[in-house]
Amino acid sequence: MTTATKRPTELTAIDDFRMRAATEGLLDVAYTTADSPFGPLLLARTERGLVRVGLPNQDADELLADLAERVSPRVLEAPAELDEVRREFDLYFAGNLDHFDLPLDWRLSSGFRQRVLRAINRIPYGQTRSYTEMARKAGNERAVRAAGTACGSNPIPLVVPCHRVLRTGGALGGYGGGLPMKEALLELEGVLDAKGSA
């Protein structure tokens, strides 16, 4: 991710290579970074859809190494492949998008965790649910702790809105991007007022 130091001719050759790789279907994982009010996000997609969103407090290099291992080592920076994703994120953070309309690639989660995440994916904008409710929707009401773990391991945060899952009684619970970010997202969606109460 250090292309800034390259000489112009080499950059052109790299751009051409990237384009040909895309045309030939060799971009198994395309990624880019996007600005957000919380810091840079890492966005990664496969031919199926968005597969990973890295939050600002997560190490991008580690996430990319993980994608190389679990999806395919053909991981390349290709901003143009994520134009639509970035556009929807910009709208969302500006408060002008209440539903991400993006194909998702669920392969980084499985079993109970994936069922929890799919249930979370149906929580509408500006609403919240409890971990218990998510556990029940995923088929095991008593697995509340496991439902919390599933939220914590969410590979596609923001789009799969795990920030809308709270403790029974309304306490915030946890968030992979840090609690201030969870709070700010709930404020953005009008769930919390600026004092942080629901």
Task: Give the active site residues.
Answer: 162
Find the angle CA(72)-CA(10)-CA(43) to the nearest 5 degrees: 35
Binding mask 153-182 for other proteins (x = CB under 8 A): ------------------------------
Which one among 48, 74, 87, 142 touches other proteins, defined by CB under 8 A? Answer: 74
Alpha carbon of 94 to those of 21, 71, 89, 106: distances in Å? Answer: 33, 32, 9, 26
The whole-angstrom separation of Cα 133 and Cα 129 is 7
- Sign of the Cα torsion 58, 87, 108, 75 reads negative
The whole-angstrom separation of Cα 106 and Cα 93 is 23
Instruction: Give residues 26-55 in contact with other proteins (rule: CB under 8 A).
Output: 26, 29, 31
Find the angle CA(87)-CA(153)-CA(139) to the nearest 5 degrees: 105
Which one among 34, 49, 77, 97 touches other proteins, defined by CB under 8 A? Answer: 77
Alpha carbon of 128 to those of 161, 173, 179: distances in Å? Answer: 9, 12, 15
**21 contributes a contact to other proteins by CB under 8 A:** yes
Nearer to other proteins, 77 or 90 (CB): 77
HSE-CB of 92 using CA atoms within 13 angstroms: 25
Which one among 57, 59, 65, 190 touches other proteins, defined by CB under 8 A? Answer: 65
Nearer to other proteins, 9 or 96 (CB): 9
Nearer to other proteins, 32 or 130 (CB): 32
**Segment near other proteins (CB under 8 A), from 18-26, 97-105, 108-116, 165-173?**
18-26
Nearer to other proteins, 76 or 184 (CB): 76
Contact positions vs other proteins (CB under 8 A):
1-3, 6, 9-10, 12-14, 16-17, 20-21, 24, 26, 29, 31, 64-65, 67-69, 72-77
